Amino acid sequence: MEILEIQNLTKIYKDGTTALRDISFNVKKGEFAIIIGSSGAGKSTILRSINRLVQPTSGSILFQNKEITTSSKGELRKIRREMGMIFQGFHLIKRVSVLKNVLHGRLGYMNSFKGAIGAFSKEDEEAAWSLLERVGLTDQAYKRAGELSGGQQQRVAIARALAQKPALILADEPIASLDPTTSETIMNYLYQICHEDGITCIVNLHQVEVAKRYATRILGVQQGTIIFDGSATELSDSEIQHIYQKKLVV
């Protein structure tokens, strides 16, 4: 079953850079898809188009059979709460407690006012606690997010994304600012949780080796087009070279 159908997606930024050229691909429910490619290839733009942090120039994105490129602000809130997003820079509210940061994942489900004053329900709080237990941070719950180490902050960010009870998780370079050991922990958490909960996951990665280890499917992006789409075993060394090779500008 397809959870995401992207067709002829093109993004040209205001300064004239073409980030995506006519990209089409589908993602099935439960896939752990990893997008690889060099910096500036358009990986981030793909992810950010899916939750409309970036407005695509043309093309269509169907999420759970609903067109989302044209949805209104109100509809967009409902779509976004179904998609958790994890960033390279963690992007937590540093001055707020870890627990509160996890609870922020519930904001999309609350009415604007209740969410603004932080009147989270009992169930939401209990859910947040059990998520913290899952990422092994119960003892840090009342600490400020900014006091935690990078790896811990990323685990909070994962818990925040999970608090949304998402159908899809988008992870934009989730381990790019972490050391190798921490990176492995984070990838393990992400993979295991998505696997256990049946959450579809799309990850942008730099590290081909890591990609090969976790991905159920790998997409290779170069200069705004998908030039590889297959399993980890199909990704040969020459393919990797091809993906990371800069095309000559004519």
* Spacing of C-alpha 238 from chain mean position: 28
Q: Contact with other proteins (CB under 8 A): which of 84, 151, 174, 220? A: 84
Q: What one-character-per-residue DSSP string does 199-235 give? A: -EEEEEES-HHHHHHH-SEEEEEETTEEEEEE-TTT-
Question: Residue 2 in contact with residue 168, Cβ under 8 Å?
Answer: no
4 to 63, contacts with other proteins by CB under 8 A?
Answer: 51, 53
Q: What one-character-per-residue DSSP string does 19-40 give? A: EEEEEEEEEETT-EEEEE--TT
Mask for 145-174, x = binds other proteins (CB under 8 A): ------------x--x---x----------
| Region near other proteins per CB under 8 A, out of 5-13, 57-65, 72-80, 241-249 | 72-80
77 binds other proteins (CB under 8 A): yes
| Region near other proteins per CB under 8 A, out of 60-68, 78-86, 124-132, 228-236 | 78-86
Distance (Å, whole) CA 168 – CA 5: 13
99 to 128, contacts with other proteins by CB under 8 A?
Answer: 100, 104-105, 107-110, 112-113, 115-118
Q: Which two tokens stand for residue 217?
A: 């499917």
Q: Which residues bind other proteins (CB under 8 A)?
A: 51, 53, 77-81, 83-85, 87, 89, 91-96, 100, 104-105, 107-110, 112-113, 115-118, 157, 160, 164
